[in-house]
Amino acid sequence: MTTLISLTMNRTVDSAPQSIDAVTLRDWEDNHDDLMIVDVRSGAEFDSLHILGSYHVPLAMLSEHAEEFAAKMGTRVVLVCQSGNRAEQARKHLDAVGLASASVLSGGVLAYAAAGGNVARSRGPWALERQVRMTAGSLVLAGVLGGKFISPKLGLIAGGIGAGLTFSAATNSCAMGKVLSVMPWNRSANEPTAHQALQSLSARA
């Protein structure tokens, strides 16, 4: 409790917006030396496309060690993912431990790249959101076809996926995305451990 109170009292900067667009982020890059950009996507996604100078802290790692990461972050933090959903989850985790000055990049890294921002690119797997859509769509299709040609019980697969997607939207979470994020093709040999990520932030803070 003492750590949380101390962390909150140390955040004396002006209230930061919960969401900013790519143009605003580019302006902040030019005018704020205290800016820290934190990418919460999987290792493979980060390797394939990321904002130059950003720090890689996967969402699962950040949620597990939120208080430790919050203590290492500066006073002007922008959280980045593919579209904004995972970054918003990260923002809520940080807010819960006293870091209320973090903002989410609306539209994610793709919006930043489209706005002419400085990014690093390489070949990699599909973005996690695209993998979720493909997996869910394939399971629904398989359930419908299986229910028609093999057994009506297989049609329950489609209903289960539909219920899961509804729950995901209502809770702003994604169990399928969490499962896919730990698949081998979504992991990178360069993905940091929690200790390495914390050290990286410490060097910048």
The string of pLDDT tens digits covering residues 26-85 is 999 999 989 999 999 988 889 889 999 999 999 999 999 999 999 999 889 999 998 899
176 has pLDDT over 80? no
Q: In Å, how far are 12, 105, 161, 176 from 78, measured between CA atoms? A: 17, 6, 33, 25
CB 58 within 8 A of CB 42: yes
Query: Could you tell me which residue, 62 or 129, shows the higher pLDDT?
Result: 62
Structure tokens at 4: 């949380």
Report the pLDDT value the prediction gives residue 11, as an integer from 0 to 100: 44
Instruction: Kindly report the number of other CB atoms within 10 A of residue 166's CB atom.
Output: 10
In angstroms, rounded to a whole number, what is the distance separating the alpha carbons of residues 74 and 34? Answer: 7
205 has pLDDT over 80? no
User: Over the stretch 138-169, which tens digit does the pLDDT of each residue have?
Assistant: 888 888 888 888 888 877 887 888 887 787 77
Read off the pTM: 0.67
Q: Distance from CA of residue 59 to its chain's centroid?
A: 5
Q: Provide CATH code, domain 2-124+191-204.
A: 3.40.250.10
In angstroms, rounded to a whole number, what is the distance separating the alpha carbons of residues 81 and 87? Answer: 5
| Average pLDDT taken over every residue of the chain | 83
Amino acid making up residue 72 = K
